Amino acid sequence: MIKNTPKYIITGGAGFIGSHLVEHLVKKNRKVVVIDNLSTGRLENLKEFKGKIKFIKCDISKKGKWIEEFKGRYYVFHLAALADIVPSIQNPTEYFNSNVKGTLNLLEACRKGRILKLLYSASSSCYGIPNKFPTKESQKINPMYPYALTKKMGEDLIIHWSKIYKIPFISLRLFNVYGTKSRTSGTYGAMFGVFLAQKISKKPFTIVGSGLQTRDFTYVSDVINAFIISHKSKISNEIFNVGSGRTISVKKITQLLGGDRIYIKKRPGEPDCTYADISNIKKKLGWRPKINIEKGIKILLKNIKYWENAPIWTPEKIKIATKAWFKFLK
């Protein structure tokens, strides 16, 4: 490895998207540093890279020795975040500390050495319930719960630090990312994790509302490609949507997965449709999604054993888990 090659610092590198990014960079023989507190990430996601990366277990919402990594020339991929809706309603301070204070500390660290570019994993949840589809980056910002708000606050900090301290960045607003290595434990959350565990246990899929609501599901490898193209591009200080280019109903997803269905109460604050306008990233970065939903689901089913130990969510358990959702989001 050439001595003056840049370092690749990945916060949240033991998580779902982060571990896929680590895999890509290791295959390219990059010098990778993973920073993760393992609150949602798993060391198991990094076991195949042992000896090939540097791993630092720490919480970036607290200043510490991790800041010493920000020397010389480096890229930063900031993926670390708490990312669940209900827990953010129950514990907003925890989400503020992780997603806002953590981002602030990271930005202050980025003022050291020579940062080449900061890539931020933003969330399409910042749009709330959009009124135009496909949704452009110029859509009105209207976060509906603390998770969405804190992710947008993180993005706003990055924009401001870029303006004042000349930190080049690209923020990618991700739409409904799915794929292998997604979290299999913890709180009620991502739809595919819930459905795949239900399929393994031969339980019916729990569809929220009518199931006619549609989502723009983006396969994780396409997201990784968006990050890689963004970091290589000469373009900086831009915000891009990252989606699949189409939208599909939840009911259709269950048909593709194969299994029985039951219906549970529709939740307030959830959009009937998410659908990214990706014309901007196509035009400026030349990025395009490659994995359609049919192919993505085939990959999930081929790797379904990954979700064998995931919690099995029944309507009764979901009702308890989402109690705060119905209480505060009316």
DSSP 182: -
Across 165-187, average pLDDT: 90
d(CA 19, CA 221): 11
Helix (H, G, I), strand (E, B) or coil at 135: strand
Residue 265: how many other CB atoms lie within 10 Å: 12
Question: Cα torsion for 58, 63, 64, 68, to the nearest 10°?
Answer: 100
Q: What is the mean pLDDT of the chain?
A: 95
Q: Which residue ranges make up each domain of the chain?
A: 7-177+218-242, 183-216+246-274+292-328
Return the CATH superfamily for domain 183-216+246-274+292-328: UDP-galactose 4-epimerase, domain 1 (3.90.25.10)
Position 183 scores a pLDDT of 76
Residue 35's pLDDT band, with cuts at 50, 70 and 90, is very high
d(CA 318, CA 295): 29
Q: What percent of the chain is predicted at pLDDT more than 90?
A: 92
pLDDT > 80? residue 189 = no
Give 104-127 pLDDT, tens digit per residue. 999 999 998 899 999 999 999 999
- By annotation, the residues acting in catalysis are 147
Give 226-263 pLDDT, tens digit per residue. 999 999 999 999 999 999 999 999 999 999 999 999 99
**For the ranges 66-70, 255-259, 265-269, which has the lowest average pLDDT?**
265-269
Position 3 scores a pLDDT of 60
pLDDT > 80? residue 199 = yes
pLDDT > 90? residue 152 = yes
**Residues facing 177 on adjacent strands:** 218
Under CATH, which number does the domain 7-177+218-242 receive?
3.40.50.720
pLDDT > 90? residue 16 = yes
Helix (H, G, I), strand (E, B) or coil at 163: helix
